[in-house]
Structure 1
Protein backbone atom coordinates (compact mmCIF):
# COMPACT_ATOMS: atom_id res chain seq x y z
CA UNK A 1 0.00 0.00 0.00
CA UNK A 2 1.38 3.37 -0.98
CA UNK A 3 1.54 6.32 1.36
CA UNK A 4 -0.94 9.14 1.62
CA UNK A 5 1.20 11.19 -0.75
CA UNK A 6 0.19 8.87 -3.57
CA UNK A 7 -3.54 9.20 -2.89
CA UNK A 8 -6.24 11.39 -4.41
CA UNK A 9 -4.64 14.52 -2.90
CA UNK A 10 -1.52 13.88 -4.94
CA UNK A 11 -3.61 13.36 -8.07
CA UNK A 12 -5.48 16.60 -7.41
CA UNK A 13 -2.26 18.57 -6.88
CA UNK A 14 -0.80 17.12 -10.06
CA UNK A 15 -3.92 17.97 -12.04
CA UNK A 16 -3.79 21.58 -10.89
CA UNK A 17 -0.30 21.95 -12.36
CA UNK A 18 -1.26 20.57 -15.77
CA UNK A 19 -2.61 22.83 -18.47
CA UNK A 20 -6.27 22.67 -19.40
CA UNK A 21 -5.69 21.04 -22.79
CA UNK A 22 -6.35 17.37 -23.38
CA UNK A 23 -3.21 15.37 -24.14
CA UNK A 24 -3.06 12.22 -26.25
CA UNK A 25 -2.77 10.12 -23.08
CA UNK A 26 -6.13 11.49 -21.94
CA UNK A 27 -7.93 10.51 -25.13
CA UNK A 28 -10.32 7.84 -23.87
CA UNK A 29 -12.49 7.72 -26.99
CA UNK A 30 -15.27 9.95 -25.64
CA UNK A 31 -16.58 12.93 -27.55
CA UNK A 32 -15.87 16.34 -26.08
CA UNK A 33 -19.57 17.03 -25.48
CA UNK A 34 -19.87 13.97 -23.24
CA UNK A 35 -16.79 14.87 -21.24
CA UNK A 36 -17.93 18.49 -20.90
CA UNK A 37 -21.42 17.39 -19.81
CA UNK A 38 -19.96 15.21 -17.06
CA UNK A 39 -17.73 17.99 -15.80
CA UNK A 40 -20.54 20.56 -15.96
CA UNK A 41 -23.04 18.41 -14.06
CA UNK A 42 -20.38 17.51 -11.48
CA UNK A 43 -19.66 21.19 -10.81
CA UNK A 44 -23.34 22.18 -10.68
CA UNK A 45 -24.40 19.39 -8.31
CA UNK A 46 -21.29 19.81 -6.15
CA UNK A 47 -22.07 23.50 -5.61
CA UNK A 48 -25.86 23.29 -5.21
CA UNK A 49 -25.86 20.08 -3.20
CA UNK A 50 -22.92 21.18 -1.08
CA UNK A 51 -24.53 24.50 -0.16
CA UNK A 52 -27.98 22.99 0.48
CA UNK A 53 -26.79 20.11 2.64
CA UNK A 54 -24.32 22.27 4.55
CA UNK A 55 -27.16 24.69 5.28
CA UNK A 56 -29.26 21.81 6.63
CA UNK A 57 -26.43 20.56 8.86
CA UNK A 58 -25.95 24.02 10.36
CA UNK A 59 -29.49 25.43 10.40
CA UNK A 60 -31.34 22.52 12.02
CA UNK A 61 -29.03 22.08 15.08
CA UNK A 62 -28.75 25.84 15.52
CA UNK A 63 -32.48 26.58 15.27
CA UNK A 64 -33.46 23.67 17.54
CA UNK A 65 -31.36 25.25 20.31
CA UNK A 66 -32.41 28.84 19.66
CA UNK A 67 -34.24 30.25 22.68
CA UNK A 68 -36.66 32.22 20.47
CA UNK A 69 -37.61 29.29 18.27
CA UNK A 70 -41.17 27.88 18.46
CA UNK A 71 -41.79 24.60 20.17
CA UNK A 72 -42.05 22.48 17.05
CA UNK A 73 -38.58 23.63 15.96
CA UNK A 74 -37.07 23.02 19.40
CA UNK A 75 -38.48 19.49 19.36
CA UNK A 76 -36.33 18.68 16.33
CA UNK A 77 -33.39 18.08 18.64
CA UNK A 78 -35.32 15.29 20.37
CA UNK A 79 -36.81 13.74 17.25
CA UNK A 80 -35.33 10.49 15.96
CA UNK A 81 -36.38 11.53 12.44
CA UNK A 82 -33.98 14.47 12.64
CA UNK A 83 -31.08 12.10 13.27
CA UNK A 84 -31.78 10.26 10.02
CA UNK A 85 -32.37 13.49 8.08
CA UNK A 86 -29.02 14.88 9.23
CA UNK A 87 -27.30 11.59 8.40
CA UNK A 88 -28.70 11.80 4.87
CA UNK A 89 -27.41 15.37 4.62
CA UNK A 90 -23.95 14.19 5.71
CA UNK A 91 -23.93 11.43 3.08
CA UNK A 92 -25.07 13.85 0.35
CA UNK A 93 -22.54 16.47 1.42
CA UNK A 94 -19.65 13.97 1.33
CA UNK A 95 -20.65 12.84 -2.15
CA UNK A 96 -20.85 16.44 -3.38
CA UNK A 97 -17.57 17.59 -1.85
CA UNK A 98 -15.46 14.44 -2.25
CA UNK A 99 -16.72 12.02 -4.88
CA UNK A 100 -17.97 14.45 -7.51
CA UNK A 101 -14.61 16.32 -7.64
CA UNK A 102 -12.89 12.93 -8.00
CA UNK A 103 -15.29 12.12 -10.84
CA UNK A 104 -14.37 15.43 -12.44
CA UNK A 105 -10.68 14.56 -12.32
CA UNK A 106 -11.21 11.06 -13.69
CA UNK A 107 -12.93 12.44 -16.78
CA UNK A 108 -10.55 15.39 -17.10
CA UNK A 109 -7.21 13.62 -16.63
CA UNK A 110 -7.62 9.82 -16.90
CA UNK A 111 -3.87 9.45 -17.48
CA UNK A 112 -3.20 10.59 -13.90
CA UNK A 113 -5.27 7.72 -12.53
CA UNK A 114 -3.52 5.18 -14.75
CA UNK A 115 -0.13 6.39 -13.55
CA UNK A 116 1.57 3.66 -11.45
CA UNK A 117 3.01 6.40 -9.22
CA UNK A 118 -0.54 7.05 -8.02
CA UNK A 119 -1.44 3.38 -7.78
CA UNK A 120 -3.43 3.60 -4.55
CA UNK A 121 -5.43 6.67 -5.58
CA UNK A 122 -7.74 4.84 -7.99
CA UNK A 123 -8.79 1.99 -5.64
CA UNK A 124 -9.34 4.51 -2.83
CA UNK A 125 -11.54 6.68 -5.05
CA UNK A 126 -13.65 3.65 -5.97
CA UNK A 127 -14.07 2.55 -2.35
CA UNK A 128 -15.10 6.04 -1.23
CA UNK A 129 -17.65 6.40 -4.03
CA UNK A 130 -19.37 3.05 -3.58
CA UNK A 131 -19.36 3.23 0.22
CA UNK A 132 -20.89 6.71 0.11
CA UNK A 133 -23.52 5.71 -2.46
CA UNK A 134 -24.61 2.56 -0.59
CA UNK A 135 -24.83 4.46 2.71
CA UNK A 136 -26.83 7.24 1.05
CA UNK A 137 -29.37 4.84 -0.45
CA UNK A 138 -29.72 2.96 2.81
CA UNK A 139 -30.20 6.29 4.62
CA UNK A 140 -33.27 6.89 2.44
CA UNK A 141 -34.54 3.47 3.50
CA UNK A 142 -33.78 4.33 7.14
CA UNK A 143 -35.91 7.48 6.95
CA UNK A 144 -38.81 5.50 5.47
CA UNK A 145 -38.50 2.76 8.10
CA UNK A 146 -38.29 5.32 10.91
CA UNK A 147 -41.46 7.07 9.75
CA UNK A 148 -43.27 3.76 9.41
CA UNK A 149 -42.37 2.45 12.87
CA UNK A 150 -43.06 5.80 14.56
CA UNK A 151 -46.55 5.91 13.07
CA UNK A 152 -47.54 2.27 13.51
CA UNK A 153 -46.22 1.43 16.97
CA UNK A 154 -45.27 3.68 19.88
CA UNK A 155 -43.81 0.73 21.77
CA UNK A 156 -41.53 -0.43 18.97
CA UNK A 157 -40.51 3.14 18.20
CA UNK A 158 -38.89 3.41 21.62
CA UNK A 159 -37.37 -0.05 21.43
CA UNK A 160 -35.79 0.47 18.02
CA UNK A 161 -34.97 4.18 17.87
CA UNK A 162 -34.96 5.34 21.50
CA UNK A 163 -31.91 7.24 22.77
CA UNK A 164 -28.55 5.95 21.57
CA UNK A 165 -30.12 3.24 19.40
CA UNK A 166 -30.66 5.67 16.53
CA UNK A 167 -26.93 6.42 16.43
CA UNK A 168 -26.14 2.70 16.40
CA UNK A 169 -28.42 2.31 13.38
CA UNK A 170 -26.61 5.18 11.66
CA UNK A 171 -23.25 3.49 12.32
CA UNK A 172 -24.63 0.22 10.93
CA UNK A 173 -25.78 2.02 7.78
CA UNK A 174 -22.24 3.22 7.07
CA UNK A 175 -20.81 -0.17 7.97
CA UNK A 176 -23.24 -1.73 5.51
CA UNK A 177 -22.03 0.71 2.84
CA UNK A 178 -18.45 -0.42 3.41
CA UNK A 179 -19.23 -4.13 3.56
CA UNK A 180 -21.15 -4.11 0.26
CA UNK A 181 -17.83 -3.86 -1.57
CA UNK A 182 -15.49 -5.23 1.10
CA UNK A 183 -14.82 -8.43 -0.87
CA UNK A 184 -13.48 -6.43 -3.80
CA UNK A 185 -11.49 -4.16 -1.50
CA UNK A 186 -9.59 -7.17 -0.15
CA UNK A 187 -9.47 -8.77 -3.62
CA UNK A 188 -11.57 -11.76 -2.60
CA UNK A 189 -14.15 -11.15 -5.33
CA UNK A 190 -12.81 -8.77 -7.95
CA UNK A 191 -10.71 -5.72 -7.15
CA UNK A 192 -10.56 -1.96 -7.64
CA UNK A 193 -8.55 -0.16 -10.28
CA UNK A 194 -8.78 1.80 -13.49
CA UNK A 195 -11.50 0.20 -15.65
CA UNK A 196 -10.91 0.87 -19.35
CA UNK A 197 -14.48 -0.16 -20.13
CA UNK A 198 -16.21 2.33 -17.82
CA UNK A 199 -13.35 4.88 -18.15
CA UNK A 200 -13.11 5.51 -14.42
CA UNK A 201 -11.90 3.98 -11.16
CA UNK A 202 -14.25 1.08 -10.74
CA UNK A 203 -14.66 -2.62 -10.05
CA UNK A 204 -12.47 -4.85 -12.21
CA UNK A 205 -13.96 -8.04 -13.57
CA UNK A 206 -13.31 -11.21 -11.65
CA UNK A 207 -13.00 -14.63 -13.22
CA UNK A 208 -15.99 -15.81 -11.19
CA UNK A 209 -18.36 -12.99 -12.12
CA UNK A 210 -18.98 -9.28 -12.46
CA UNK A 211 -18.76 -7.60 -9.00
CA UNK A 212 -20.10 -4.27 -10.28
CA UNK A 213 -23.32 -5.90 -11.50
CA UNK A 214 -23.81 -7.74 -8.22
CA UNK A 215 -23.15 -4.58 -6.21
CA UNK A 216 -25.85 -2.61 -8.04
CA UNK A 217 -28.39 -5.41 -7.76
CA UNK A 218 -27.91 -5.69 -3.99
CA UNK A 219 -27.41 -2.02 -3.14
CA UNK A 220 -30.44 -0.85 -5.12
CA UNK A 221 -32.95 -3.60 -4.39
CA UNK A 222 -32.67 -3.66 -0.57
CA UNK A 223 -33.37 0.09 0.01
CA UNK A 224 -36.04 0.03 -2.70
CA UNK A 225 -37.89 -2.81 -0.97
CA UNK A 226 -37.69 -1.08 2.43
CA UNK A 227 -38.94 2.23 1.00
CA UNK A 228 -41.82 0.61 -0.88
CA UNK A 229 -43.03 -1.51 2.05
CA UNK A 230 -42.65 1.28 4.64
CA UNK A 231 -44.57 3.92 2.73
CA UNK A 232 -47.24 1.40 1.73
CA UNK A 233 -47.86 0.67 5.41
CA UNK A 234 -47.93 4.41 6.16
CA UNK A 235 -50.59 4.97 3.49
CA UNK A 236 -52.71 2.10 4.81
CA UNK A 237 -52.44 3.49 8.35
CA UNK A 238 -53.52 6.96 7.22
CA UNK A 239 -56.55 5.50 5.44
CA UNK A 240 -57.52 3.46 8.52
CA UNK A 241 -57.17 6.42 10.87
CA UNK A 242 -59.31 8.51 8.52
CA UNK A 243 -62.14 6.01 8.65
CA UNK A 244 -61.86 5.88 12.44
CA UNK A 245 -62.13 9.65 12.69
CA UNK A 246 -65.13 9.72 10.38
CA UNK A 247 -66.99 7.21 12.55
CA UNK A 248 -66.29 9.20 15.73
CA UNK A 249 -66.94 12.70 14.33
CA UNK A 250 -70.69 12.62 13.73
CA UNK A 251 -71.14 15.78 15.75
CA UNK A 252 -68.94 17.70 13.30
CA UNK A 253 -70.05 19.08 9.97
CA UNK A 254 -69.25 16.06 7.81
CA UNK A 255 -68.38 17.95 4.65
CA UNK A 256 -65.58 19.78 6.47
CA UNK A 257 -64.36 16.60 8.15
CA UNK A 258 -64.25 14.72 4.86
CA UNK A 259 -62.47 17.62 3.14
CA UNK A 260 -59.84 17.75 5.87
CA UNK A 261 -59.21 14.01 5.72
CA UNK A 262 -59.13 14.07 1.93
CA UNK A 263 -56.51 16.80 2.03
CA UNK A 264 -54.40 14.80 4.47
CA UNK A 265 -54.61 11.64 2.34
CA UNK A 266 -53.77 13.56 -0.83
CA UNK A 267 -50.69 15.10 0.77
CA UNK A 268 -49.58 11.73 2.10
CA UNK A 269 -50.04 10.13 -1.31
CA UNK A 270 -48.15 12.95 -2.97
CA UNK A 271 -45.27 12.65 -0.49
CA UNK A 272 -45.00 8.89 -1.02
CA UNK A 273 -45.18 9.29 -4.79
CA UNK A 274 -42.46 11.96 -4.89
CA UNK A 275 -40.09 10.02 -2.61
CA UNK A 276 -40.40 6.70 -4.45
CA UNK A 277 -40.47 8.10 -7.99
CA UNK A 278 -37.45 10.33 -7.34
CA UNK A 279 -35.50 7.36 -6.02
CA UNK A 280 -36.44 5.25 -9.05
CA UNK A 281 -35.78 8.01 -11.61
CA UNK A 282 -32.35 8.82 -10.19
CA UNK A 283 -31.05 5.41 -9.14
CA UNK A 284 -32.88 2.86 -11.30
CA UNK A 285 -31.36 3.96 -14.67
CA UNK A 286 -27.75 3.45 -13.55
CA UNK A 287 -28.71 0.12 -11.99
CA UNK A 288 -30.30 -1.09 -15.24
CA UNK A 289 -27.36 0.15 -17.33
CA UNK A 290 -24.74 -1.53 -15.14
CA UNK A 291 -26.68 -4.80 -15.01
CA UNK A 292 -27.81 -4.95 -18.65
CA UNK A 293 -24.57 -3.58 -20.13
CA UNK A 294 -21.72 -4.78 -17.88
CA UNK A 295 -19.10 -4.16 -20.58
CA UNK A 296 -20.28 -0.59 -21.21
CA UNK A 297 -20.88 -1.02 -24.92
CA UNK A 298 -23.05 2.10 -24.86
CA UNK A 299 -20.88 4.58 -22.94
CA UNK A 300 -22.98 7.64 -23.74
CA UNK A 301 -26.13 6.07 -22.33
CA UNK A 302 -24.18 5.31 -19.16
CA UNK A 303 -22.89 8.89 -18.93
CA UNK A 304 -26.38 10.37 -19.31
CA UNK A 305 -27.77 8.01 -16.65
CA UNK A 306 -25.01 8.98 -14.23
CA UNK A 307 -25.68 12.68 -14.80
CA UNK A 308 -29.34 12.05 -13.91
CA UNK A 309 -28.28 10.06 -10.85
CA UNK A 310 -26.09 12.86 -9.49
CA UNK A 311 -29.12 15.17 -9.40
CA UNK A 312 -30.37 13.07 -6.48
CA UNK A 313 -27.85 14.75 -4.20
CA UNK A 314 -29.65 18.05 -4.79
CA UNK A 315 -33.18 16.63 -4.76
CA UNK A 316 -32.89 14.80 -1.42
CA UNK A 317 -32.48 18.05 0.47
CA UNK A 318 -35.55 19.53 -1.21
CA UNK A 319 -37.77 16.47 -0.70
CA UNK A 320 -36.95 15.71 2.93
CA UNK A 321 -36.08 19.15 4.35
CA UNK A 322 -37.24 22.13 2.29
CA UNK A 323 -40.71 20.63 1.73
CA UNK A 324 -41.26 20.29 5.49
CA UNK A 325 -42.73 23.35 7.18
CA UNK A 326 -40.86 22.83 10.45
CA UNK A 327 -37.49 22.58 8.73
CA UNK A 328 -38.30 25.68 6.71
CA UNK A 329 -38.84 27.55 9.96
CA UNK A 330 -35.42 26.30 11.11
CA UNK A 331 -33.90 27.68 7.91
CA UNK A 332 -35.54 31.07 8.49
CA UNK A 333 -34.36 31.21 12.08
CA UNK A 334 -30.79 30.41 11.14
CA UNK A 335 -30.60 32.75 8.14
CA UNK A 336 -32.20 35.71 9.93
CA UNK A 337 -29.85 35.26 12.87
CA UNK A 338 -26.73 34.92 10.73
CA UNK A 339 -27.79 37.55 8.16
CA UNK A 340 -29.85 40.18 10.05
CA UNK A 341 -30.66 42.26 6.92
CA UNK A 342 -32.92 39.40 5.81
CA UNK A 343 -35.43 40.49 8.44
CA UNK A 344 -35.83 43.81 6.67
CA UNK A 345 -35.93 42.20 3.24
CA UNK A 346 -38.88 40.07 4.29
CA UNK A 347 -40.77 43.30 5.24
CA UNK A 348 -42.92 41.37 7.72
CA UNK A 349 -42.40 39.45 10.95
CA UNK A 350 -40.97 36.03 10.22
CA UNK A 351 -43.34 33.19 11.00
CA UNK A 352 -41.25 31.65 13.75
CA UNK A 353 -41.62 34.80 15.86
CA UNK A 354 -45.33 34.07 16.36
CA UNK A 355 -45.56 32.37 19.76
CA UNK A 356 -49.02 30.83 19.54
CA UNK A 357 -49.27 28.04 17.01
CA UNK A 358 -52.65 27.29 15.46
CA UNK A 359 -51.59 24.33 13.33
CA UNK A 360 -50.48 20.75 13.64
CA UNK A 361 -48.04 18.97 11.38
CA UNK A 362 -48.93 15.59 9.90
CA UNK A 363 -46.69 12.81 8.64
CA UNK A 364 -46.32 14.66 5.35
CA UNK A 365 -44.70 17.63 7.04
CA UNK A 366 -47.65 19.87 6.09
CA UNK A 367 -49.73 21.86 8.54
CA UNK A 368 -53.44 21.64 9.23
CA UNK A 369 -55.42 24.44 10.84
CA UNK A 370 -56.75 23.87 14.33
CA UNK A 371 -58.88 27.01 14.56
CA UNK A 372 -62.21 25.66 13.38
CA UNK A 373 -62.43 22.01 14.42
CA UNK A 374 -60.58 21.54 17.66
CA UNK A 375 -62.09 18.09 18.55
CA UNK A 376 -61.26 16.76 15.12
CA UNK A 377 -57.82 18.34 15.19
CA UNK A 378 -57.05 16.66 18.48
CA UNK A 379 -57.94 13.31 16.92
CA UNK A 380 -55.72 14.03 13.93
CA UNK A 381 -52.99 15.04 16.33
CA UNK A 382 -53.40 11.70 18.07
CA UNK A 383 -53.37 9.53 14.95
CA UNK A 384 -50.54 11.37 13.18
CA UNK A 385 -48.17 12.00 16.09
CA UNK A 386 -45.19 10.06 17.25
CA UNK A 387 -46.38 10.17 20.85
CA UNK A 388 -49.73 10.52 22.58
CA UNK A 389 -49.78 10.64 26.35
CA UNK A 390 -52.19 11.51 29.09
CA UNK A 391 -52.95 15.04 30.17
CA UNK A 392 -52.16 14.53 33.82
CA UNK A 393 -48.37 14.36 33.90
CA UNK A 394 -45.24 14.39 31.78
CA UNK A 395 -44.02 10.87 31.18
CA UNK A 396 -40.64 9.79 29.92
CA UNK A 397 -40.61 7.89 26.65
CA UNK A 398 -38.28 4.92 26.04
CA UNK A 399 -34.75 6.12 25.48
CA UNK A 400 -35.12 9.11 27.77
CA UNK A 401 -37.21 11.32 25.44
CA UNK A 402 -40.06 13.32 26.89
CA UNK A 403 -43.39 12.14 25.65
CA UNK A 404 -44.67 14.50 22.97
CA UNK A 405 -48.22 14.61 24.24
CA UNK A 406 -47.26 15.26 27.85
CA UNK A 407 -47.67 18.61 29.46
CA UNK A 408 -44.50 20.58 30.03
CA UNK A 409 -43.61 21.41 33.63
CA UNK A 410 -45.29 24.62 34.71
CA UNK A 411 -47.76 24.65 31.84
CA UNK A 412 -51.19 23.20 31.33
CA UNK A 413 -50.87 22.68 27.59
CA UNK A 414 -50.17 19.54 25.65
CA UNK A 415 -47.36 19.18 23.15
CA UNK A 416 -47.38 17.46 19.79
CA UNK A 417 -44.52 15.92 17.88
CA UNK A 418 -44.22 16.22 14.13
CA UNK A 419 -43.49 13.24 11.98
Structure 2
Protein backbone atom coordinates (compact mmCIF):
# COMPACT_ATOMS: atom_id res chain seq x y z
CA UNK A 1 0.00 0.00 0.00
CA UNK A 2 2.87 2.40 0.80
CA UNK A 3 4.49 1.66 -2.56
CA UNK A 4 1.22 2.39 -4.37
CA UNK A 5 0.58 5.58 -2.39
CA UNK A 6 4.03 7.09 -2.99
CA UNK A 7 3.67 6.44 -6.73
CA UNK A 8 0.28 8.17 -6.97
CA UNK A 9 1.65 11.75 -7.45
CA UNK A 10 3.65 10.87 -10.60
CA UNK A 11 0.94 8.48 -11.78
CA UNK A 12 -1.67 11.24 -11.58
CA UNK A 13 0.94 13.75 -12.85
CA UNK A 14 0.55 15.89 -9.72
CA UNK A 15 4.31 15.81 -9.06
CA UNK A 16 6.36 14.54 -11.97
CA UNK A 17 5.04 11.94 -14.40
CA UNK A 18 5.68 8.36 -15.43
CA UNK A 19 7.20 7.75 -18.84
CA UNK A 20 10.01 6.29 -20.95
CA UNK A 21 13.54 7.61 -20.69
CA UNK A 22 15.08 6.73 -24.09
CA UNK A 23 18.63 7.21 -22.79
CA UNK A 24 18.36 4.38 -20.25
CA UNK A 25 15.68 2.29 -22.03
CA UNK A 26 13.60 2.37 -18.84
CA UNK A 27 10.19 3.54 -17.70
CA UNK A 28 10.81 5.94 -14.84
CA UNK A 29 9.66 9.16 -13.17
CA UNK A 30 10.18 12.13 -15.49
CA UNK A 31 10.19 15.84 -14.72
CA UNK A 32 7.00 17.81 -15.05
CA UNK A 33 7.20 21.60 -14.86
CA UNK A 34 10.85 21.17 -13.91
CA UNK A 35 10.21 19.07 -10.77
CA UNK A 36 10.05 15.38 -9.95
CA UNK A 37 9.91 13.21 -6.78
CA UNK A 38 12.38 10.77 -8.32
CA UNK A 39 15.44 11.70 -6.24
CA UNK A 40 13.49 11.74 -2.98
CA UNK A 41 11.85 8.38 -3.70
CA UNK A 42 15.16 6.72 -4.65
CA UNK A 43 16.79 8.09 -1.51
CA UNK A 44 13.97 6.78 0.70
CA UNK A 45 13.93 3.45 -1.17
CA UNK A 46 17.60 2.93 -0.30
CA UNK A 47 17.95 4.47 3.17
CA UNK A 48 14.79 2.94 4.68
CA UNK A 49 15.51 -0.75 3.78
CA UNK A 50 19.17 -0.24 4.68
CA UNK A 51 18.17 1.00 8.15
CA UNK A 52 15.67 -1.85 8.60
CA UNK A 53 18.29 -4.45 7.61
CA UNK A 54 20.87 -3.04 10.04
CA UNK A 55 18.41 -2.88 12.95
CA UNK A 56 16.85 -6.29 12.22
CA UNK A 57 20.13 -8.16 11.84
CA UNK A 58 21.58 -6.45 14.91
CA UNK A 59 18.54 -7.59 16.92
CA UNK A 60 18.83 -11.14 15.54
CA UNK A 61 22.53 -11.30 16.41
CA UNK A 62 22.00 -9.88 19.92
CA UNK A 63 19.13 -12.28 20.59
CA UNK A 64 21.10 -15.32 19.41
CA UNK A 65 24.12 -14.24 21.41
CA UNK A 66 22.06 -13.68 24.58
CA UNK A 67 20.31 -17.04 24.23
CA UNK A 68 23.63 -18.85 23.87
CA UNK A 69 25.10 -17.09 26.90
CA UNK A 70 22.05 -18.11 28.93
CA UNK A 71 22.44 -21.72 27.82
CA UNK A 72 26.15 -21.58 28.60
CA UNK A 73 25.42 -20.50 32.18
CA UNK A 74 23.36 -23.68 32.75
CA UNK A 75 25.76 -26.17 31.13
CA UNK A 76 27.99 -28.55 33.14
CA UNK A 77 31.62 -27.41 33.31
CA UNK A 78 32.89 -30.52 31.50
CA UNK A 79 30.93 -29.67 28.37
CA UNK A 80 31.61 -25.94 28.32
CA UNK A 81 34.81 -25.95 26.17
CA UNK A 82 33.35 -28.14 23.45
CA UNK A 83 30.06 -26.21 23.39
CA UNK A 84 31.88 -22.86 23.38
CA UNK A 85 33.89 -23.82 20.31
CA UNK A 86 30.76 -24.90 18.49
CA UNK A 87 28.90 -21.73 19.48
CA UNK A 88 31.75 -19.49 18.40
CA UNK A 89 31.74 -21.24 15.05
CA UNK A 90 27.95 -20.78 14.74
CA UNK A 91 28.25 -17.11 15.74
CA UNK A 92 30.94 -16.44 13.16
CA UNK A 93 28.87 -18.23 10.49
CA UNK A 94 25.79 -16.16 11.37
CA UNK A 95 27.82 -12.93 11.34
CA UNK A 96 29.32 -13.86 7.97
CA UNK A 97 25.88 -14.61 6.52
CA UNK A 98 24.38 -11.31 7.69
CA UNK A 99 27.37 -9.31 6.45
CA UNK A 100 27.21 -11.07 3.07
CA UNK A 101 23.50 -10.27 2.68
CA UNK A 102 24.05 -6.64 3.67
CA UNK A 103 27.05 -6.19 1.35
CA UNK A 104 25.09 -7.74 -1.55
CA UNK A 105 22.22 -5.35 -0.80
CA UNK A 106 24.65 -2.41 -0.98
CA UNK A 107 26.22 -3.70 -4.20
CA UNK A 108 22.82 -4.12 -5.86
CA UNK A 109 21.06 -0.93 -4.80
CA UNK A 110 23.75 1.67 -4.01
CA UNK A 111 24.80 2.17 -7.67
CA UNK A 112 21.16 2.71 -8.74
CA UNK A 113 20.55 5.18 -5.92
CA UNK A 114 23.76 7.11 -6.65
CA UNK A 115 23.08 7.27 -10.40
CA UNK A 116 19.49 8.46 -9.95
CA UNK A 117 20.15 10.92 -7.13
CA UNK A 118 23.60 12.31 -7.96
CA UNK A 119 23.87 11.79 -11.72
CA UNK A 120 20.29 12.10 -12.93
CA UNK A 121 21.32 13.96 -16.08
CA UNK A 122 22.24 10.59 -17.69
CA UNK A 123 25.70 11.57 -18.90
CA UNK A 124 26.65 7.87 -19.11
CA UNK A 125 23.53 5.87 -20.12
CA UNK A 126 25.32 2.51 -20.04
CA UNK A 127 26.21 3.02 -16.35
CA UNK A 128 22.53 3.71 -15.58
CA UNK A 129 21.54 0.53 -17.41
CA UNK A 130 24.12 -1.54 -15.49
CA UNK A 131 22.89 -0.05 -12.19
CA UNK A 132 19.33 -1.08 -13.08
CA UNK A 133 20.45 -4.62 -13.95
CA UNK A 134 22.21 -4.90 -10.57
CA UNK A 135 19.01 -3.81 -8.81
CA UNK A 136 16.99 -6.46 -10.68
CA UNK A 137 19.63 -9.07 -9.82
CA UNK A 138 18.88 -8.53 -6.11
CA UNK A 139 15.71 -10.57 -6.60
CA UNK A 140 17.66 -13.78 -7.23
CA UNK A 141 20.91 -13.58 -5.25
CA UNK A 142 19.60 -14.35 -1.74
CA UNK A 143 18.80 -18.04 -2.43
CA UNK A 144 22.38 -18.49 -3.67
CA UNK A 145 23.78 -16.76 -0.58
CA UNK A 146 21.76 -18.99 1.75
CA UNK A 147 22.68 -22.10 -0.22
CA UNK A 148 26.38 -21.24 -0.11
CA UNK A 149 26.45 -20.50 3.62
CA UNK A 150 23.93 -22.87 5.20
CA UNK A 151 24.08 -26.68 5.19
CA UNK A 152 20.32 -27.02 5.75
CA UNK A 153 19.54 -24.88 2.71
CA UNK A 154 21.96 -26.94 0.60
CA UNK A 155 20.29 -30.12 1.77
CA UNK A 156 16.83 -28.73 0.94
CA UNK A 157 17.97 -27.65 -2.54
CA UNK A 158 19.54 -31.05 -3.11
CA UNK A 159 16.27 -32.81 -2.21
CA UNK A 160 14.33 -30.46 -4.47
CA UNK A 161 16.61 -31.14 -7.46
CA UNK A 162 16.44 -34.90 -6.81
CA UNK A 163 12.63 -34.73 -6.86
CA UNK A 164 12.69 -32.74 -10.10
CA UNK A 165 15.20 -35.16 -11.68
CA UNK A 166 13.09 -38.17 -10.63
CA UNK A 167 9.92 -36.56 -12.00
CA UNK A 168 11.62 -35.88 -15.34
CA UNK A 169 12.97 -39.44 -15.50
CA UNK A 170 9.54 -40.91 -14.77
CA UNK A 171 7.95 -38.68 -17.42
CA UNK A 172 10.57 -39.67 -20.01
CA UNK A 173 10.12 -43.38 -19.30
CA UNK A 174 6.36 -43.34 -20.00
CA UNK A 175 5.31 -44.96 -23.32
CA UNK A 176 4.63 -42.68 -26.27
CA UNK A 177 0.94 -42.18 -26.86
CA UNK A 178 -0.31 -44.31 -29.73
CA UNK A 179 2.63 -46.72 -29.68
CA UNK A 180 2.03 -50.22 -31.00
CA UNK A 181 3.28 -53.32 -29.19
CA UNK A 182 4.50 -56.08 -31.48
CA UNK A 183 2.84 -59.50 -31.32
CA UNK A 184 4.61 -62.21 -29.41
CA UNK A 185 6.69 -59.69 -27.43
CA UNK A 186 4.27 -59.16 -24.51
CA UNK A 187 5.93 -61.70 -22.26
CA UNK A 188 9.41 -60.28 -22.88
CA UNK A 189 8.16 -56.75 -22.35
CA UNK A 190 6.86 -57.68 -18.91
CA UNK A 191 9.89 -59.64 -17.76
CA UNK A 192 12.98 -57.64 -18.78
CA UNK A 193 14.27 -55.96 -15.61
CA UNK A 194 10.73 -56.10 -14.20
CA UNK A 195 9.99 -52.96 -16.24
CA UNK A 196 7.74 -52.47 -19.27
CA UNK A 197 9.70 -52.58 -22.53
CA UNK A 198 7.50 -51.21 -25.27
CA UNK A 199 8.38 -51.76 -28.92
CA UNK A 200 7.35 -48.61 -30.81
CA UNK A 201 6.78 -48.45 -34.55
Q: Is the 8 A contact 1:321 1:327 kept in 2?
A: yes
2:78 aligned counterpart, secondary structure: coil
| Aligned residue number for residue 73 of structure 2 | 247
Deviation, 1:222, is: 1.4
Q: Which runs of 5+ in 2 are unaligned?
A: 170-201
| Higher CA-based Rg | 2
Return the match for 1:270 from 85, 96, 119: 96
Alignment partners' CA distance in 2, 1:338 and 1:196: 42
Matched, 1:296 2:122: yes
| Aligned residue number for residue 11 of structure 2 | 185
Q: Which is bigger in relative contact order (C-alpha 8 A, separation at least 6)?
A: 1
| Aligned residue number for residue 38 of structure 2 | 212
TM-score normalised over the length of structure 1: 0.37
Alignment of 1:276-355 (within 5 A): 276-320=102-146, 323-340=149-166
Q: Is the 8 A contact 2:42 2:116 kept in 1?
A: yes
Q: How many residues matched?
A: 169
Q: Which runs of 5+ in 1 are unaligned?
A: 1-174, 344-419
Return the match for 2:64 from 228, 238, 263: 238
Alignment partners' CA distance in 2, 1:322 and 1:270: 11
Alignment partners' CA distance in 2, 1:300 and 1:213: 19
Alignment partners' CA distance in 2, 1:215 and 1:320: 30
1:252 aligned counterpart, secondary structure: helix
TM-score normalised over the length of structure 2: 0.72
| Aligned residue number for residue 361 of structure 1 | none
2:27 aligned counterpart, secondary structure: strand
Q: Is the 8 A contact 1:289 1:302 kept in 2?
A: yes
